[in-house]
Structure 1
Amino acid sequence: MGAGGLRAKGSLEAKPGEDQEGGVVISDSGKVPPLVISGPSGVGKGSLVGKLKEEFGDAVGLCVSHTSRDPREGEEQGVHYYFCSRQEMEQGIKEGKFLEHASVHGNLYGTARSSLEAMQTDDSMCMIDVDVQGCRSLREAGVEGKYVFVAPPSMEVLEERLRGRGTEKEETVQKRLANAKKEMDASMEKGLYDKILYNDDLDEAYRELRSIVKGSMQTVLARRALSTALQAAPVQDAGTQNQEIDTSKTTPIIVFVLGGPGSGKGTQCGLLVDRFDCVHLSAGDLLRAEKDTEGSQYADLINSCITNGKIVPVEITCQLLVNAMNAEMDNNSKSHQEGGPVFLIDGFPRNLDNFEGWTAESGGIARVVLFFECSEGTLQERLLERGKTSGRSDDNIASIKKRFATFQEETLPVVEVFRKSGNLRIVDAEQGVEGVFAEVQKILRADIPELGT
């Protein structure tokens, strides 16, 4: 993360699919980025992939490649490869049906677009096993993912492993060693792989591979847990049967309030409530309240996300927000401005998945998006000071750093979406509370005349 802090201006350091600290990462498509794995024959890729499958089961899916070679003993169609004729593969390549393809030892291999699309589901992480040439083609095709090259500790060890198989002729061994040397040299190409993983000890190499995909697997398992819970008992206990905003009586005015942790969103929302009789809904507060609700089926999941600085699945957050909005409009406990109550939704949407889920499921469109821009240094200082008295589990230095990383990687892209749509209003949150409030009032009076003076 750059020294410039948590700001919307300028380019982001984190590339799509990066997971430097095991944080949850979602690609621009909303899918978990695939693991693209390469390495020479005999290096142990199959063993590493097998250990992932053993631990995570069908939460890890292998994108099955096509090949023109004949099946070997024990290989099954559609499991190990899609076996087809050379003519069929050449025709598919000509028609652009393959993301990557290569000729290896005289046979064609390739990854079909349809194979990746079929495997890249919401509740699994897809793996793509390709050679260096295939990796380069996937990069050029714009496939977002985590690119890992598995290397032997030395060429001597690799040769020993290949000969230890006892299944290949000397000519084949020499050909594989020559190809391995080329692949290992090419793997050092800048920007081609995110990680070179040396497989000297299988268990140690697996621990390293597991740490690389930790964030992705956390996302997959969280989504699976949510899906299971929703199927078992749909969210209804908060007082509504669906996630749509009820506009039968009045049409609410929605203001999204975004900013890094500690930027003063909650403080400013409280001042706006007192000044303009708005309704403040904090996504974080609603989630913490749900976490502490006795018998909540989502308590453990929400607690894990909050502690680790992760983003709670959108279905839960949307449901809680919509329930609170509908309850406010049903109760009508305040005399709101003409045109409906003004809801200040604080800390939401926190990523593109939140934004898309809210748009699709709630029907609510924000008239204004306030973004409190502040440097990371100032934010950290504020949060550590707040942590002395807040009692919050995430106001500690470890959680703060994770929250900063999540904000940088996931929330700033949403801010850019709002910037392009024209309804983003940037507030300088480095100022004191009064200076920020004066700026916010000016913005809202201009954008929401219903507020009055």
Structure 2
Amino acid sequence: MFKIVLRDCLREYLKKCEKNEVNTKHQEIVEDCINNGKIVPVDITLELMKIKMESEIAKRKKQEHNELNDQGESGVEKKKDSFSFKKLDENANIKNINIEEYNNKLKYVNNIYENKEVLEILKNNKCEQKAKYKFIIDGFPRNYDNFNGWINIIGNYAYVHLCLFLYCDEEIMIERCMNRGLTCGKNLMNPKQTKKKKNFVPFL
């Protein structure tokens, strides 16, 4: 299981731009969005996210190759069989194969999809296949444009098992952002920057 934090993904890209390690074509836009509390265009976001996903998959493949060499194939298979998602509730064993078909049925009201529509998607897309590589993506999608962009750009490259939406009002959001430093040791933003980010809708 890999975890990708969108914020870290964007900042990592900017650091690589400073070191001339990557193409800097998006640098100006990403910097402007971060500094002014704007949402990075979805095509740029997904391009960088996909690069990160491919990088993590490449690392895992290398690790698996080394394990095969060190333990032999039978040892690796035994290790893989020690855990199975089948032990979890079947609601977690889903795969959005037909997400395009149900996309038009989603009702977008105040950035929240109606639960009955989401449940209908999950109900109709259960399957027994298990993805080889699994990701938890923190901070995406942030709005409907992000969601639609995922469908159009990522498509079948990755299947969505679950999207968890967390909502809070502006005052609570500002308080939480200002207190982040207490738990992570970072001074992430000041009140002015936090105000700019009030249009950010947190998703996991």
Shorter-chain TM range is 0.5 to 0.7
- Quick check: 1:283–1:347 contact (8 Å CA) kept in 2? yes
Q: Which structure would you say has the larger RCO, counting Cα contacts within 8 Å and 6 or more residues apart?
A: 2
Give 1:435's aligned residue: none
The amino acid across from 1:284 in the alignment is R
Corresponding residue number in structure 1 for 2:112: none
Q: Percent identity?
A: 34
Contact 1:318 1:358 in 2 (8 A): yes
Q: Is the 8 A contact 1:286 1:320 kept in 2?
A: yes
The CA deviation string for residues 366-392 of structure 1, in whole angstroms up to 9 with x for no partner, is 110112233433322221122574243
Aligned pair in 2 of structure 1 residues 384, 326: CA closer, same or farther (>3 Å)? same
- Partner of residue 186, structure 2: 390
Map 1:191-270; keep pairs closer than 5 Å: none
Q: Which of 316, 327, 336 is matched with 2:44 structurally?
A: 316
Q: Larger Cα Rg: Structure 1 or Structure 2?
A: 1
Q: Distance in 1 between matches of 2:173 and 2:180?
A: 10
Q: CA RMSD in A?
A: 2.7
State the AA in 2 paired with 1:390.
Answer: K
From the two aligned structures, give the one with the greater helix fraction: 2
Letter in 1 for 2:54: N
Deviations 1:325-383 (A, max 9, x none): 12222221478765322211111112222222221111233110112233433322221
Partner of 2:173: 379
CA contact (8 A) 1:291 1:300 kept: no
SS in 2 for 1:366: coil
Correspondence for 1:331:
59
| Residue 279 (1) aligns with residue 2 (2) | yes
Instruction: Give the 3 Å change call, closer, same or farther, for CA 339–302 of structure 1 in structure 2.
Output: closer
Give me the whole-angstrom Cα distance separating, in 1, the residues matched to 2:59 and 2:150: 23
Greater shift in the superposed pair: 315-324 or 366-375? 366-375
2:172 is aligned with what amino acid?
Answer: T
**Residues matched between the structures, number:** 131
Match of 1:357 in 2: 149
Contact 1:387–1:396 (Cα < 8 Å) also in 2: no
Q: Summarize the alignment of residues 5-404 of structure 1 with structure 2, pairs less than 5 Å apart.
A: 278-293=1-16, 294=18, 295=20, 296-332=24-60, 333=63, 339-363=131-155, 364-387=158-181, 389-392=185-188, 395-404=189-198
Q: What TM-score, normalized to structure 2?
A: 0.55
Amino acid at match of 1:366: V
* Equivalent-residue separation in structure 2 for 1:282 and 1:347 (angstroms): 6
Structure 2: runs of 5 or more not aligned: 65-78, 85-129
For residue 350 of structure 1, give the secondary structure of its aligned residue in structure 2. coil
| Compared CA separation, residues 360 and 281, structure 1 to 2 (3 A) | same
User: Contact 1:283 / 1:346 at 8 angstroms: preserved in 2?
Assistant: yes
- Is the 8 Å Cα contact of residues 281 and 344 (structure 1) preserved in structure 2? yes
Query: Structure 1 residue 323: deviation in Å?
Result: 1.2
Q: CA deviation digits over 1:243-283, x for unaligned, max 9? A: xxxxxxxxxxxxxxxxxxxxxxxxxxxxxxxxxxx211011
**Aligned counterparts of 1:352 and 1:371: Cα–Cα separation in 2:** 12
Structure 1, gaps ≥5 residues long: 1-277, 416-424, 426-453
Change in Cα spacing, 1:300 to 1:387, as seen in structure 2 (3 Å) is: farther
Shift, 1:306, TM fit:
0.9
Letter in 1 for 2:136: L
Deviation at 1:291, TM superposition (A): 1.6
SS of residue in 2 equivalent to 1:280: strand
Separation of aligned partners in 2, 1:286 and 1:391: 18
Over 3 Å counting, the alpha-carbon distance change for 1:339 and 1:314 in structure 2 is closer
* Structure with a larger share of its residues in strand: 1
Q: Secondary structure at the match of 1:345?
A: strand
SS at match of 2:40: coil
